[in-house]
Structure 1
Amino acid sequence: MRHIEIRHLDRERARHVWEVSDYCRKAGIHRAEEKRLIKILGRYASAHELQMNVIRPNNRSR
C-alpha cells in the first residue's frame, strides 16, 4: 500500500468507490450475484466497474 498526501490529490480525477455489498443492497441485486461480484472485483469497486459486471436477468417477454 502506498502513502498518499491528501493535499496532493486531484479532485477532478477522484472517483466514488462503493462497497460491493452496499451497492448490491441499494440496487436490489440478488445475493448470489453479489457473491459473484465480490469474487470478481473484491470488496470495493467503482460504480462503473459494478455496472459493467452485473448480469441482469432478461425479463423481456414478447
Structure 2
Amino acid sequence: MKHTDIKKLDLSQPRHVWDVADYCRRSGLHKAEERRLIRLLGKFASSHELQMNVIRPQTRVR
C-alpha cells in the first residue's frame, strides 16, 4: 500500500473514492470481476479508475 503526502495532492478537484467491493456490489458485478479489480487497483479507487477498468460482458450480439 502506498502512502501519499497530502501536500502533494491536487485539491482543486475533489474526487470520490469508492470501496471497490462496495462499488462492485452496487453495480451488480460478478465476484470474479470484484477480485480482479481489487488485485488491480487495491481496496479503494476513484470512480474514474473503476469505470475505466471494469470489463462488462456484451449483452447483445448482432
Moved over 3 A (4+): 1-5
TM-score (norm 2): 0.80
Q: RMSD of the TM alignment (CA)?
A: 1.9
In structure 2, stretches of 5+ residues that fail to align are none
Structure 2: how far apart are the matches of 1:20 and 1:36? 10
In structure 1, stretches of 5+ residues that fail to align are none
Between structures 1 and 2, the one with greater helix share: 1
CA drift of 1:60 comes to 1.3
CA drift of 1:2 comes to 5.4
2:45 aligned partner:
45
Amino acid at match of 2:20: V
- Which aligned pairs between 1:1-62 and structure 2 lie closer than 5 A? 1=3, 4=6, 10=11, 12-62=12-62
Amino acid at match of 1:17: V
TM-score (norm 1): 0.80
Amino acid at match of 2:30: H
Amino acid at match of 1:60: R
- Count how many residue pairs are aligned between Structure 1 and Structure 2: 58
Question: Residue 58 of structure 1: SS of its match in structure 2?
Answer: coil
Amino acid at match of 1:44: F
